[in-house]
Amino acid sequence: MGEAPIQAERPEPISATDPDWSREAKRFFEWAPSRSLLAAHRSYRRNRGRGLVRAVARKWAALRYRIWSVVTGADIPLTCKIGGGLLLPHPNGVVFHSDCEIGVNCLIFQQVTLGYRRDGAPRIGGHVDIGAGAKLIGRIVVGDHARIGANALVLEDVPPGGTMAAPAAKLIQS
């Protein structure tokens, strides 16, 4: 009699509601500019409020944030609402509008723009993957577990679990 085939364990799906803070974890002497940028951003947001200690901590966080913004080449305003577990593997050229909202456990690659139009800024759901060079412009809602392909221009809502991709390249002249 043959043995039953071994079934590979399926990894647990990434949550669109519960942040996985280990995705942003940084070891003490690790060179991780994007994680350092996010840590400074979170420190600034955490220390809003009154009091001398909070004011000093906020100023220190803002200074760290500016340094890491220059190092990474990312433009992420301190007023932007970012859910936990964000991954920015290559943060250079990333531009977010100050009014955009990003859900938990998202993955955003380089040269991504989350931009404002007259009607507002994008709202990104939980566990959304956004490919390199994608542009999401205007008051759009990207549903949970959606995927945006590289170089896609998104001007309309994306349903949960939906995928948006850029058109295929065509030969114009040879």
CA distance 4 to 101: 48
What is the pLDDT, as a whole number, of residue 8?
Answer: 59
- For strands 129-130 and 107-108, give the pairing: parallel
CB atoms within 10 A of CB 42: 16
CA gap 108, 91 in Å, rounded: 8
pLDDT at 164: 92
pLDDT computed for residue 6 by the predictor: 62
Q: How far apart are CA 7 and CA 35, in angstroms?
A: 35
Sorted by sequence, the CB contacts under 8 Å of residue 10 that are 6+ apart come out as none
Q: What is the pTM of this model?
A: 0.85
| pLDDT computed for residue 130 by the predictor | 96
CA distance 26 to 35: 6
Q: What pLDDT score does 30 carry?
A: 83
Instruction: Give the pLDDT score at 102.
Output: 96
Question: How many other C-beta atoms lie within 10 A of the C-beta of residue 155?
Answer: 11
Comparing CA positions, the residue from 88, 79, 92, 81 lying closest to residue 106 is 88
**In the chain, which residues have pLDDT < 70?**
1-11, 168-174
* Centroid of chain to Cα 49: 25
pLDDT tens column, 99-133 = 999 999 999 999 999 999 999 999 999 999 999 99
